[in-house]
């Protein structure tokens, strides 16, 4: 994940919460390794908490074993069955005393577009639909389940050195 645009570097300083779509962003295939994803998310949210950031997963899928396990991770808010992702995130932000200028969101499908448009920083995987790519700040290559989490941590580290 390379951020060269000065405008984005300035805007990302406001970000306090990193939100992810589940299917297509954190999980790339049906034959996913959920345990590996859960371990990656635990490490990710712990590191974010140390740096006073929040994390969350916003998904249209119903509650299931994976979303329930994700919701048990410290510093990880999980919103399921959300077709109105903007409304769901508004409630989460209110609870955390944040606003959309504090949100970095990574989504990949049509349902994500309204939230991508409201977020301070909008990212999509390179595999995202063309319509999604029209409303985002940049794309990132994701090849392994959960690999986006490592990329985000590297981005935070680089920007804190700026």
Could you read off the pLDDT of 119-160 as tens digits, one per residue?
999 999 989 999 999 999 988 888 776 778 888 888 777 766
Q: Is residue 58 part of a domain?
A: yes
Q: Is residue 148 part of a domain?
A: yes
Measured from the Cβ of residue 159, the count of other Cβ atoms closer than 10 Å reads: 14
Cβ within 8 Å of residue 43, ≥6 positions away: 149
Q: Can you give the residue range of the structural domain that contains 82?
A: 6-160
Measured from the Cβ of residue 139, the count of other Cβ atoms closer than 10 Å reads: 17
Backbone angles phi, psi at 57, to 5 degrees: -125, 125
What does the pLDDT look like over 60-74, one tens digit per residue? 999 999 999 999 999
Q: Is residue 60 part of a domain?
A: yes
Domain count along the chain: 1
The predicted pLDDT at position 50 comes to: 94
Q: Is residue 1 part of a domain?
A: no
Q: Is residue 18 part of a domain?
A: yes
What residue has token string 């074993």?
Answer: 65
Q: Is there a contact between 48 and 54 (Cβ–Cβ < 8 Å)? A: yes
Q: What strand order describes the sheet that includes 103-106?
A: 76-79, 54-58, 17-20, 103-106, 121-125, 138-140
What does the pLDDT look like over 6-56, one tens digit per residue? 577 788 889 999 999 999 999 886 556 788 899 999 999 999 999 899 999
Q: What is the CATH number of the domain that holds 32?
A: 3.40.50.1000
Q: Is residue 141 part of a domain?
A: yes
């Amino acid at each position: 994940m390379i951020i060269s645009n000065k405008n984005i570097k300035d805007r990302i300083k406001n970000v306090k919460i990193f939100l992810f779509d589940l299917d297509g962003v954190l999980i790339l295939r049906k034959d996913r390794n959920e345990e590996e994803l859960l371990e990656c998310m635990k490490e990710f949210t712990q590191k974010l908490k140390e740096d006073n950031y929040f994390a969350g997963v916003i998904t249209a899928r119903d509650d299931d074993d994976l979303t329930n396990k994700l919701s048990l991770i410290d510093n990880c808010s999980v919103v399921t069955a959300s077709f109105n992702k903007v409304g769901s995130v508004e409630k989460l932000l209110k609870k955390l005393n944040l606003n959309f200028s504090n949100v970095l969101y990574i989504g990949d499908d049509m349902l994500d577009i309204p939230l991508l448009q409201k977020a301070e920083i909008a990212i999509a995987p390179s595999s995202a639909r063309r319509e999604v790519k029209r409303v985002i700040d940049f794309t990132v290559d994701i090849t392994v389940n959960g690999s986006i989490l490592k990329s985000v941590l590297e981005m935070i580290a680089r920007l804190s050195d700026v």
